[in-house]
Homo-oligomer: A and B are copies of this chain.
């Protein structure tokens, strides 16, 4: 067993560095804004001015994306948006299962925004008998016992993990055994997975801790 957290395992050399992948969505939202304002072309210098990120960094990041800029006029706005959305995986729909329809899980089920960024939750799993068999927002909720059959049926490769911490690892193991290839982990628990399984940690609570700490630091230093 190998913990795959925020980094790729060494074998798979990523074509794109993680910091670049974190910045590209910023450029995308920025260029979308420029389009709304009626702009047709955009240069790295312009994106730099708007985002505060160094222009040479932006040019370097965009060099990973298959798009050519023209001297002086820059990138075509429409093309840049289309190429970035495609590159980031937002134009393909990736089907996902959600595990744990509690407070956060239920909230994510209701967040229709995810589908605009390529993630469609097609079914959810929970042991709560009041939930099993219901279909909130058109998304059916099944008992975890039905998972393997449903996975084959739906062809899902991504699992969203929003269960209580005490079952985070066992549900992860079940997901992986059933054929899930990527786990979007919203729990504050550090799950362990075999090599070649992707884990994306999004712990709202860790982010809260960071924010509270910085707020304290700043207020103590003022």
Q: CA separation between A15 and B158, bound complex, in Å?
A: 38
Q: A52-B192, A103-B111, A218-B196 are in contact. Are A210 and B32 (CB under 8 A)?
A: no
Q: A57 near B: Cβ within 8 Å?
A: no
Q: A182-B215, A212-B118, A217-B15 are in contact. Are A204 and B205 (CB under 8 A)?
A: no
Residues of B within 8 A of A196 (CB): 218, 222
Partner of A214, one of B8, B28, B209: B8
Contact A216 B36 (CB under 8 A): no
Q: CA separation between A112 and B103, bound complex, in Å?
A: 6
Residues of B within 8 A of A118 (CB): 208, 212
Interface residues of A in 138-196 (CB under 8 A from B): 157-158, 165-166, 181-182, 184, 187-190, 192, 196
Interface centre among A14, A158, A204 (most CB of B within 10 A): A204
A153 to chain B, nearest CB (A): 20
Which single residue of chain B is at the shortest CB-CB distance from A210? B21
A-side interface mostly: helix
Q: CA separation between A222 and B195, bound complex, in Å?
A: 11
Contact A114 B209 (CB under 8 A): no
Residues of B within 8 A of A21 (CB): 206, 209-210, 213
Residues of B within 8 A of A134 (CB): none
Q: CA separation between A22 and B36, bound complex, in Å?
A: 37
Partner of A110, one of B32, B53, B106, B182: B106
Q: A16 near B: Cβ within 8 Å?
A: yes
**A–B complex contacts, Cβ < 8 Å, 26 sampled:** A8-B217, A18-B210, A24-B209, A26-B189, A29-B165, A29-B189, A30-B189, A30-B190, A53-B190, A88-B212, A88-B213, A89-B212, A94-B215, A102-B113, A103-B111, A107-B108, A110-B110, A114-B208, A117-B208, A119-B208, A181-B218, A182-B214, A182-B215, A196-B218, A198-B214, A200-B208
